[in-house]
């Protein structure tokens, strides 16, 4: 298996995990369920780790179009998804062994989703702009949808800076559109594109006699 095929398959897992995280998060907010909180934290942890493979696969595909911006986008995106994994691990640890309750105090590593949403969104904006360049090998429309996703992720971070109530309808709506619609569609599309490209390379490679 080539890394491109692996990254494509992993993108499908990230899409499914992101959708499941969004649903678990809403359930946790609406029902105050500890089980839903723990599931959301676990999904954030695993999704962040798997996201690194997807970003590396994307970088491999598009770096020929603009190496500098592709590398910058990879660095920003990797920092963001690793930050989300740390945030998920932190929340999961609190679910396993609850500590002293400190309501309103943001996570010190990922305050108000700075890495999970803000930096990840910036990384996707950069990477998606490279996708739209000639020679990236990926659909221009995929880059356009990626820019939309990046903007939405940054918007969620900005909203969380000012809206502390996770039950806020605007915040839930913004997170719902992003996590239930745009995020899964983009990652499934990206996964299909990465796997299709890997199959084309495999079929064009010379066979041994």
Residues 63-109 have pLDDT tens digits of: 999 999 999 999 999 999 999 999 999 889 888 887 655 555 667 78
pLDDT of residue 207 exceeding 60, the answer is no
Residue with more model confidence, 199 or 84: 84
Q: What pLDDT shows up at residue 97? A: 80
Q: What pLDDT shows up at residue 166? A: 82
Is the pTM higher than 0.85? The answer reads yes
Q: What pLDDT shows up at residue 95? A: 86
pLDDT of residue 177 exceeding 50, the answer is yes
Q: What pLDDT shows up at residue 209? A: 36
Supply angle C-alpha 96, 33, 85, rounded to 5.
50
Q: What pLDDT shows up at residue 190? A: 98
Residues 42-75 have pLDDT tens digits of: 999 999 999 999 999 999 999 999 999 999 999 9
Which of 24-33, 79-88, 171-180, 186-195 is predicted least confidently? 24-33
Q: 164 pLDDT band (50/70/90 cuts)? A: confident
Average pLDDT rounded to a whole number, residues 114-120: 96
pLDDT of residue 141 exceeding 70, the answer is yes
Q: 201 pLDDT band (50/70/90 cuts)? A: low
Q: What is the mean pLDDT of the chain?
A: 90
Residues 82 and 54: their CA atoms lie apart, in Å, by 12
Q: 110 pLDDT band (50/70/90 cuts)? A: confident
pLDDT of residue 119 exceeding 60, the answer is yes
């Amino acid at each position: 298996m080539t890394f491109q095929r692996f990254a494509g398959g992993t993108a499908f897992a990230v899409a499914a995990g992101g959708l499941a995280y969004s649903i678990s998060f809403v359930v946790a907010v609406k029902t105050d369920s500890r089980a839903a909180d723990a599931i959301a934290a676990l999904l954030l942890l695993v999704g962040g780790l798997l996201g690194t493979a997807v970003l590396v696969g994307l970088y491999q595909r598009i770096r020929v179009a603009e190496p500098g911006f592709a590398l910058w986008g990879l660095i920003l995106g990797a920092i963001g998804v690793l930050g989300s994994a740390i945030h998920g691990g932190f929340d999961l640890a609190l679910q396993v062994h609850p500590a002293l309750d400190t309501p309103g105090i943001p996570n010190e590593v990922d305050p108000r989703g700075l890495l999970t949403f803000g930096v990840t969104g910036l990384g996707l904006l950069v990477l998606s702009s490279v996708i739209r360049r000639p020679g990236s090998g990926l659909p221009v429309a995929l880059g356009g949808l990626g820019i939309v996703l990046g903007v939405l992720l940054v918007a969620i971070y900005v909203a969380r800076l000012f809206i502390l109530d996770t039950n806020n309808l605007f915040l839930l709506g913004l997170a719902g559109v992003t996590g239930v619609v745009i995020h899964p569609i983009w990652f499934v599309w990206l996964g299909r594109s990465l796997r299709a490209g890997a199959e084309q390379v495999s079929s064009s490679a010379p066979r041994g006699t």
